[in-house]
Structure 1
Amino acid sequence: MELKQGDMSVADYAAKFESLCAFSPHYNIVEAVYDKCVKFESGLRPDI
């Protein structure tokens, strides 16, 4: 099975998400782990 998020694999999407989170102070604190997970999941296609 091949999971795609647009033209990227989900692994590529996750890597890009992590790299972009480095620019957001909110997502770089321990207390924001839940918010970060919600943001990541909301960016995925609903059928994934």
Structure 2
Amino acid sequence: MTRLRLSGARRRSAPRRGSALLLVLTLTLGFAALAMSAIYLTSSGGILL
């Protein structure tokens, strides 16, 4: 019984970890793209700041 409960708890927490990891990855990639575009604009003479 305890093994089934533990496996059930693990299965329930797995999607949450996956979605959280996906969210962090998306935010990181978005921030990296924003930083790269900002560096490109400032280096190419664009007015950003």
- TM-score bracket, shorter-length normalisation: 0.3 to 0.5
Q: TM-score, normalised by structure 2?
A: 0.36
Structure number with greater Rg is 2
Higher strand share: 1
Q: TM-score, normalised by structure 1?
A: 0.36
Higher helix share: 2
Structure with the bigger RCO (C-alpha within 8 Å, sep 6+) is 1
